[in-house]
Amino acid sequence: MSVSSSGRRRLIALLAIGATLFAGACSSALGGDGQSGGAPGADHTLRLALSRQFTGLNPHNGGSPDSDGSVKGTVYEALTSLDSGGRVQPRLAASWSNPTPLEWRFTLRDGVRFSDGTPLTAQEVAWNFAELLDPATKSQLGAQLKIYTAAVTAEGANVVVFHLKSPAIDLPSRLWNFYLTTQKFWQSGNLNTEAIGTGPYLLKSIDLENGAKLTANPGYWGDKPVFENVEYKVLPSEAARVSAVQAGEVDIALNLDPLSLDQFASNTKYRATLSDSSWVQVISINENKGGPLADVRVRQALNYAIDKKAIINGLLKGAVQPSRGQVIAPPFYQPNPAVTEFEYNPGRARQLLAEAGHSDDVVLQLDIPSGTYAAGAAIGQAVAQQAAAVGIRITITETPFPAWLSRQNQASEQAADLVYIGWGGQYRDSWTVFDPFTSKSRYKQSNITDPVFDDLINRLQSATDPETARGLVAQATQRYHDEAHTVFLWPGTFTSLIADGLTWAPRTTRYLYAQEVGRK
């Protein structure tokens, strides 16, 4: 694949602009006493840089891994958890069973207390899920739960029973981020700025724009975390994260542009990682808004107009391969081999636009959350330039994450035409991964109406055997590709800089949990 000479010059110019942010490699990193070199000492406060402002710590809402989701996973716990490979593990539930297709039974761990001293009981757990299932609850997690769950009840002091509307053979995996708190706190506390959980850390303070401070939970039932004190710093701009590393003000920083990692190649104070993640990057399409995007030919034209390989090689250091025209990717899912990528073909894009009667009148707005995705702003500019070459004009709005999220949660008529966003699986072989892309979704990866796709996903998530599930996945991925409900880009890249003296293995799911950081 190739780009025109003028397009290549524009892309090179973008790279040059991005590279100037990183002139001068970092010159210091914190040791144990605040001096350069060495492992952090016992009294060292672990400082972790996140790239998105917080929207709140409500345990019954979902959380971004680049933001409050990482903090929630340190102060709260769920019945289950996921290991770094996406496999489900016991957490507050010590074991579980599935005696019938519509019943799951979870036995709670003994001796667990919430941070206010309240014992963990089946009654407290059942109350949490009753709140999530309440028709008045607007929680995104609750909306998912209501689809397949009729009720959750307590049986004695330590058994929780899920009564399902339809089979969910992977239910333990689905529950990993349904965090639990006490009914008393829910009714009297500030859910966004306070926390009562069972996790390894306690929340000391939080500033939704700037970060959170935590301290180890002295009554934690599990392994004691290595660091007594933790500070999560919100650094939403690329320049701020680079500056913090250069000054030795953070121990781990995430979501730097891949090109910036070259600046740290010879620096012994930090080690850099660049990998793909379990997420896929897409440009979601707001079909429900009407206009040109309601025509499948215009959506297909957008896919053909983007030279994904050129952007990957130019801005992401060739770390990933273009998506195969679907919204699932390794390591948790194997793409459908029958579905192929939309290759770069600007001639075909122009032909489709002409057939649709939209050769020169397509004007779209693309929303990008600032500081969220590696090279996000530069990628948006490259996409706009390539789209312009086939007659599609794209303007870009880049805003901090909370403001960006607020806009995306508006009705389709007020939301952006296009949104640059990453979404993906958290655990293996769970087909709830398709939820954000269905018509029923409360998330704004989807502003579509496709009853055929929705029906396939409903049947998939109720499948009782793997063979049936695989067949439905094949049909669903083919349908989503053919309707071009999104611009398929590539698996998400994940970058990090880790101070010498620390041990931490990046999760493909991108979460940065303080309790997983150790000393060498």
Instruction: Spell out the SS3 assignment of 136-183.
Output: CCCCHHHHHHHHHEEEEEEECCCEEEEEECCCCCCHHHHCCCCCCCCH
CA dist., res. 485 & res. 108, Å (int): 42
**Residue 31 confidence (pLDDT):** 46
Inside any domain, residue 463: yes
Q: Are 67 and 193 in contact (CB under 8 A)?
A: no
**141 and 285 co-located in one domain:** no
**Residue 426 confidence (pLDDT):** 61
Checking if the pLDDT of 285 tops 80, the result is yes
Residue type, 364: L
CA dist., res. 445 & res. 438, Å (int): 9
**299 and 409 co-located in one domain:** yes
Checking if the pLDDT of 378 tops 60, the result is yes
Res. 12 pLDDT band, cuts 50 70 90? very low
Mean pLDDT of 271-289: 86
Checking if the pLDDT of 346 tops 50, the result is yes
**Residue 130 confidence (pLDDT):** 97
CA dist., res. 344 & res. 495, Å (int): 27
Q: What is the extent of the structural domain holding 437?
A: 5-16+276-493
Mean pLDDT of 220-240: 94
**350 and 430 co-located in one domain:** yes
Inside any domain, residue 207: no
Mean pLDDT of 71-88: 91
**87 and 11 co-located in one domain:** no
Inside any domain, residue 197: no
Q: Are 456 and 475 in contact (CB under 8 A)?
A: yes
Q: Is the dihedral of CA 356, 490, 142, 175 positive or negative?
A: positive
Inside any domain, residue 227: no
Within 10 Å of residue 138's Cβ, how many Cβ atoms?
11
Mean pLDDT of 148-163: 97
**Residue 160 confidence (pLDDT):** 98
Helix axes 451-461, 466-482, angle to 10 degrees: 160
Mean pLDDT of 422-434: 69
**Residue 463 confidence (pLDDT):** 85
Q: Are 506 and 273 in contact (CB under 8 A)?
A: yes
Query: The domain spanning residue 166 has which CATH number?
Result: 3.90.76.10
Counting beta carbons within 10 angstroms of the beta carbon of residue 224, is it exposed (0 to 12), middle (13 to 18) or buried (19 or more)?
exposed
**Residue 36 confidence (pLDDT):** 43
Mean pLDDT of 15-26: 39
Mean pLDDT of 81-102: 92
Phi, psi for residue 259 in degrees, rounded to 5: -65, -25
User: Percent of the chain beyond pLDDT 90?
Assistant: 58
Checking if the pLDDT of 376 tops 90, the result is no
Checking if the pLDDT of 28 tops 50, the result is no
Checking if the pLDDT of 21 tops 80, the result is no
Within 10 Å of residue 266's Cβ, how many Cβ atoms?
7
**Residue 518 confidence (pLDDT):** 96
CA dist., res. 56 & res. 205, Å (int): 12
Contacts of 482 (CB under 8 A, 6+ apart): none
**Residue 33 confidence (pLDDT):** 42
Higher pLDDT, 93 or 290: 93
Q: Which of 30-44, 229-243, 325-339 has the lowest mean pLDDT?
A: 30-44
Inside any domain, residue 487: yes
**Residue 141 confidence (pLDDT):** 86
Q: Which of 148-162, 265-279, 312-326, 478-492 has the lowest mean pLDDT?
A: 265-279
Helix axes 5-20, 376-388, angle to 10 degrees: 160
Last residue of a domain, one of 186, 214, 245: 186
Res. 298 pLDDT band, cuts 50 70 90? very high
Query: The domain spanning residue 344 has which CATH number?
Result: 3.10.105.10
Highest mean pLDDT among 110-119, 279-288, 421-430: 110-119
Q: Output the CA angle 177-178-182, nearest 5 degrees.
A: 130
**361 and 481 co-located in one domain:** yes
**Residue 430 confidence (pLDDT):** 63
CA dist., res. 218 & res. 201, Å (int): 8
Checking if the pLDDT of 333 tops 60, the result is yes
Q: Output the CA angle 242-244-250, nearest 5 degrees.
A: 120
**Residue 34 confidence (pLDDT):** 40
Checking if the pLDDT of 464 tops 90, the result is no
What residues pair up with 50 in beta bridges, in sequence order? Answer: 234
Show the tokens assigned to 513.
């949990």
Residue type, 88: V
Inside any domain, residue 141: yes
**11 and 82 co-located in one domain:** no
Q: Are 487 and 6 in contact (CB under 8 A)?
A: no
User: Across the chain, what does the average pLDDT equal?
Assistant: 87
pLDDT in tens, 97-125: 999 999 999 999 999 999 999 999 999 99
Q: Are 309 and 317 in contact (CB under 8 A)?
A: no
Report in angstroms the alpha-carbon separations of 513 from 76, 491, 493: 11, 22, 19
Res. 16 pLDDT band, cuts 50 70 90? very low
Write out the E strands in 192-343.
201-207, 211-216, 229-234, 252-254, 270-285
**168 and 312 co-located in one domain:** no
Phi, psi for residue 91 in degrees, rounded to 5: -135, -100
Inside any domain, residue 268: no
Write out the E strands in 165-298.
201-207, 211-216, 229-234, 252-254, 270-285
| pTM greater than the 0.85 cutoff | no
**11 and 109 co-located in one domain:** no
CA dist., res. 312 & res. 294, Å (int): 28
Checking if the pLDDT of 475 tops 50, the result is yes
Res. 387 pLDDT band, cuts 50 70 90? very high
Mean pLDDT of 426-435: 68
Inside any domain, residue 127: yes
Nearest to 48 by CA among 502, 509, 403: 502
Checking if the pLDDT of 291 tops 90, the result is yes
Helix (H/G/I), strand (E/B), else coil: 93: strand
Helix axes 122-133, 140-148, angle to 10 degrees: 100
Helix (H/G/I), strand (E/B), else coil: 322: coil
**Residue 1 confidence (pLDDT):** 37
Checking if the pLDDT of 24 tops 50, the result is no
CA atoms within 13 A on the CB side of 428: 10
Give CA 253 to chain center in angstroms: 17
Number of domains in the chain: 2
**339 and 457 co-located in one domain:** yes
Res. 182 pLDDT band, cuts 50 70 90? very high
Higher pLDDT, 211 or 168: 211
**10 and 93 co-located in one domain:** no
CA dist., res. 93 & res. 159, Å (int): 9
Checking if the pLDDT of 375 tops 90, the result is no
Highest mean pLDDT among 179-183, 244-248, 358-362, 428-432: 179-183
Mean pLDDT of 89-97: 97
**288 and 174 co-located in one domain:** no
**11 and 85 co-located in one domain:** no
Write out the E strands in 413-458.
418-424
Last residue of a domain, one of 186, 205, 228: 186
CA dist., res. 229 & res. 45, Å (int): 5
CA dist., res. 254 & res. 41, Å (int): 23
Mean pLDDT of 64-75: 92
